[in-house]
Structure 1
Amino acid sequence: MRDESTADDASGGAPAADPDRVALQARIYADGRAAWPDLDLAPEAFGAHAERHAAELAAAHAADFYLACACWLRIAGASAAIQARHGAELEAVLKSRNVPAAQRDDLRQALWEKLLVGRAGAPAKIGDYAGRGPLGGWLRVAAVRMALNFREQARADRLVPAPELDEAQHPASPDPELSFLKSQYRREVEQALRDALAGLGTDERNVLRLYFLDRLSIDRIAAVYGVHRATAARWVTRGREALLRGTQALLERQLKVERAEVDSILGLVRSQLELSMSGLFRGSE
């Protein structure tokens, strides 16, 4: 029978804390406090936040995680510190994605609000930052996602002249944010896409091969299968979405990061899906 007198610690029944985890949190706290001495973040509050990201903490960027935690807990000066350190980077992201100057200020403000303040029913996204990569990179991915969403909405609403949208769709120079994404998650994303593709049915894979690798139009795919073009279009859409869903599930398991971060990564994968898929199909031949 279990000995109740010794099973629990002297604190009233709570299990003893893992000493290795406590030591890790203390080290990250000390490193973070040294980097940001003006941010008065209590150790207990930091520890509670760190517990939310316990699985990722061993690889956390201490100074960045401390700063993000301070912002999440509304410590005076933390939000201003993030904006001062990373504001120019986010401005460069929006500019590189050809967001018109007239809309950049509003978009930047909306981005900071979403990330650092939150809205009714939607807490600040900075709480999702687990420290796995540099905070600047995490913020850049979020900015690219917002810029892509803006572009899609602007195209639908016709708020931005067509030439600017065409330039954004086909930038003249390499996109630094997509380059960052590839450098951070390249292997994981490629493997997840490959595994998700292998998990599709043979017909779905064949349709996607015709679409992405052979570059057949919906009409030509319909002709190959002897079906109406609406049916062929539905097959392509269904295959794409099944592929993205499978990739998302695999990334969540492989990267072990918050859903919001996976969504940002997947949004960029979606924007480059044609290029990625044609490469995967060529590699499998």
Structure 2
Amino acid sequence: MKDINPDDFKVTSKIKLADIPTELDINTSKEQEENALDELQIKLSKKQDIMYAHNRYAFLICLQGMDTSGKDSLIREVFKEFNSRGLVVQSFKTPTSNELEHDYLWRHYTVLPEKGKFSVFNRTHYENVLVTRVHPEYILFERLPGIEKVEDITPQFWVDRMENIKHFENHLSRNGTKILKFYLHMSKEEQRKRLLKRLENQEDNWKFSVGDLKERALWDDYMKYYEEAINATSTDYAPWYIIPADDKGVARYIVAKTIWQELDKLKDIVEPELDDKVKANLEEYRKLLE
């Protein structure tokens, strides 16, 4: 099996999505691929338990990608062995009326991971510089001062919004939250195949939405704004990783290995020791239980 180095997928300089492949041959069988992921699942689970007990760090895993890019199944498979008390998955859809009464980051602040826990954002705060750029009329629902119509939204508005997001992430990082952002990079042709599968397989019909076709027609716009957002916001404290996602199994493995690599760097994560008084009386407690 080809060795995978997560750093090969990290964005450390300006990128052009059109130049980055959406598939990667890791020179292995599906069975070997699944076995490798199983091993990572177990390692992640054990480390997560220690991190939960250590209670100093939190992890925020951000997943972005076009419709059908595999976000849901990736969450299911990568975090399969996690203890549920240490993992929370958040999905962000169209803002509710209550959420629109606050600033655009408010709903994300309210569900950030507690210390010792992982949170997975399935679609993230970046929707505020992606979907709203493709559909700038959505900004009007936020009722921002000075913005009465789409024409009032200047290019500087988006620059400022991405700077705000960077400040948001920097603040989290300085307070112990490790942030990893993954863009599932799928080809338009692969999306076509997956949408057709939803139509052709009865058990997948429920996943199909006419809205997916409308957004697919705006593919080039999305690629442009994804590229701009990734280039503007990939930092040392909150890096972006561009994951080839035409093969879901490969994408899951790369994401899992990246999370493991970052977890393993935290050498100060150790299981807490019992209080000295408790340790001194272990034999007494054992007798009481017996």
**TM-score normalised to the size of structure 2?**
0.22
The structure whose Rg is larger is: 1
The structure that is strand-richer by fraction is 2
Larger relative CO (CA 8 A, sep 6+): 1 or 2?
2
Structure 1 or 2: more helix by fraction: 1
